[in-house]
Chain A
Amino acid sequence: MDAFTQHIGTAAPLRRSNVDTDQIIPAEYLKRVTRTGFEDGLFAAWRNDPAFVLNQPEYGGVSVLVAGPDFGTGSSREHAVWALLDYGFRVVVCSRFGDIFRGNSGKAGLLAALVTQDVVEQLWATVEKDPGTKVTVDLEAKTISAGELSAPFEIDDYTRYRLLNGLDDVGITLSHEADIAAYEATRPAFKPATLPAKA
């Protein structure tokens, strides 16, 4: 994973709440067995609508998505994060994320920046007034700024540390292999195993 320190880009306002992961990428797009190529599925149903924000020429080339509350609820599909990344997004700003989506974002290198709804409203107003406004997201300082606005965002310390350093989780955990083996030695005998199979 590439390290993430600061991102500067333009932003799209998504004035909808409860954007579940089925809306971010419908199930029919989840059949691929590869890790890339999911951009076609992003907001697939809404992109047929000429009025949808990402179909507006002034929001071409955006890399920051500013969404209404409860973004990324529902299904655990990490494909939702991959679709956003494949489309070109690097940051999603929201006042409340679905838990699994937020976790998946941190793993895949998409920054899920948690702000107050007031900051969301100000960002919406700013980028709707001038879609060319550069939005700066600074992960070191945990701030987001656009035009006159400068506001803090929240992210848990550990995810921030991993993103800043571009660290691979599995590698970190395997450095604690001795702890895992020690734990395994204490597991009770009555715990079930899938092998051998019993009918």
Chain B
Amino acid sequence: MGRTLSEKVWDAHVVRHADGEPDLLYIDLHLVHEVTSPQAFDGLRLAGRQVRRPDLTIATEDHNVPTLDVDKPIADLVSRTQVDTLRKNAKEFGVRIHTLGDPDQGVVHVIGPQLGLTQPGMTVVCGDSHTSTHGAFGAIAFGIGTSEVEHVLATQTLMQARPKTMAVTVDGVLPDGVSAKDLVLALIAQVGTGGGQGYIVEYRGEAIRALSMEARMTICNMSIEWGAKAGMIAPDETTFNYLQDKPHAPQGVDWEAAVEYWKSLATDEDATFDREVVLRAEDIAPFVTWGTNPGQGVPLSANVPSPDDFDNENDKVAAERALEYMGLTAGTPLREVKVDTVFLGSCTNGRIEDLRAAAGVLAGRKVAEGTRMLVVPGSGRVRLQAESEGLDKIFKDAGAEWRGAGCSMCLGMNPDTLAPGERSASTSNRNFEGRQGKGGRTHLVSPLVAAATAVTGTLAAPADLQPIDVAVPENV
């Protein structure tokens, strides 16, 4: 019988298999950042161990770093200590690191792809749950805890039980103004935050094939938000074209050999999945979350739901709590919800295409009075690229703040946070209580909805805006 994409990649990485034990899986790329690694390096030191493969390991600083005054020492002493600890550990153990100010510093999941280190058929891990992003290339990529970070540093392997397989097929064509973010938010609202638990998911179908690499990364990034072990998309010409000119892409005969191998990874016609979910792209509209987990979302055109709309008792109680925390009243049209802060950035939507999409809406327009907008590129290189296209000028002319690269307000470990009770429209991935700052209220949205919301000051899509006559730069 044929095998699925994930089964082929898994099988190719089994170092040791024994019945009744998890497989020992080889790891091709280990991404490291400052928050989940200090205790792992300490563990190595205590046991007198080395990093087995520094040449398959790369570090950057992203969670803690400020997005202003990046040329000055980090003002928060505890953050500075954590960043300095990573720098010292990288030096001591011979690990390549990209520090503040370097074009390849930034959100760890933006760095791997932009360097061409993330490639099809690989296993990629990081002490961060959004490692699922790299699955967009047809890699098995998942987040791990600090004990496992230490395990990978010491052995370049992980013990892993083989997950089940699931296919999410999206047929048809996404309507205009509907993006990958809307698609994945709609999917999570349908399947629930635990729906993917125990599965490696393969996203497939016409609507997925039509997506750019960056849009595919947005989809795979959010796999963890519905509990999946990993999310993957089979590599194709879009993947190969994206990779071809990246610094670490294979060259010459290696490129030929690699592409031939990558083409063999697609799920066989006679392979079967343990579970299948089918969505119609035409049914999907701009989507927004109203609650405190990513499954609590509805189309932007809908009203805030009522706890009575839910059959399941747990969902009912969760909805009551969420409405109270979010300060929302059931029945309110979402388009009437006023937003204080718009955050454009993160490993979900902080890449160049996301910035272009938002800039296209903001060109010739202004951020509404009383609303602030933060634009945080995913990496130093994304920032430079945006500046070379004049996107920074569009954002600044509109009244948005143009910042340095990092995780920033996605999780508020640096000074970029919401104040208690403040409400955001955010292109990030989690609307958990307090995620963007204690007492902060988050609505997850796409870059297009984020930009339109910045203009109106209430949740909005670009189609809601008055047309303007303005020359929009190329690319946008």
Contact = CB atoms under 8 A, between A and B. Distances in A.
16 contacts: A16-B318, A23-B434, A27-B63, A45-B434, A76-B131, A99-B197, A104-B148, A107-B148, A157-B20, A170-B43, A173-B157, A187-B26, A190-B257, A192-B117, A193-B55, A194-B56
A190 B262 CA distance: 11
Given A103-B148, A197-B96, A73 B433 contact: no
B100 to A, nearest CB: 16
Contact of A27 (B16, B78, B411): B411
A199 interface: yes
A198 B438 contact: no
A184 B156 CA distance: 10
A179 interface: yes
B62 interface: no
Given A69-B194, A74-B129, A158-B21, A189 B413 contact: no
Given A20-B293, A69-B194, A76-B145, A31 B82 contact: yes
A18 B20 contact: no
A90 interface: no
Nearest to B260: A190
Nearest to B160: A103
B6 interface: no
| Most central of B78, B145, B250, B438 by chain A CB within 10 Å | B145
A17 interface: yes
Contacts of A69: 194, 314
Contacts of B147: 78, 104, 107-108, 169
Interface of A: 16-18, 20, 22-23, 26-28, 30-35, 45, 68-70, 73-79, 81, 96, 98-100, 103-104, 107-108, 156-158, 169-170, 172-174, 176-177, 179-180, 183-184, 187-195, 197-199
A75 B35 CA distance: 12
Contact of B55 (A73, A75, A194): A194
B187 interface: no
Nearest to A70: B194
B78 to A, nearest CB: 4
A4 to B, nearest CB: 15
Nearest to A174: B155
A40 B21 CA distance: 36
A170 B151 contact: yes
Given A98-B227, A176-B15, A187-B26, 5 more contacts: A70-B193, A75-B129, A75-B411, A76-B128, A192-B249
B247 A199 contact: yes
Contacts of B21: 158
Contacts of A191: 28, 119, 122
A194 B111 CA distance: 12
A96 B145 CA distance: 18
Contacts of A99: 197-198, 227, 229
B200 to A, nearest CB: 11
A120 B293 CA distance: 22
Interface string B245-261: 00111100011011001
Given A23-B432, A31-B64, A188-B261, A81 B154 contact: no
Contacts of B154: 170, 173-174
Nearest to B161: A156
Interface string B111-149: 000011101001000011101000000000011111110
Contacts of B248: 192-194, 198
Nearest to A103: B145
B26 A183 contact: yes
Nearest to A172: B159
A96 B146 CA distance: 22
Contacts of A156: 161
B169 interface: no
Q: List the 8 shortest-distance A-B pairs measured between CB atoms, nearest first.
A: A107-B147, A78-B145, A104-B145, A33-B38, A76-B143, A190-B258, A190-B254, A198-B247
A2 to B, nearest CB: 15
B49 interface: yes
Nearest to B80: A31
A95 to B, nearest CB: 10
B143 A18 contact: no
A157 B128 CA distance: 26
B15 A31 contact: no
Contacts of A34: 38-39
A190 B413 contact: no
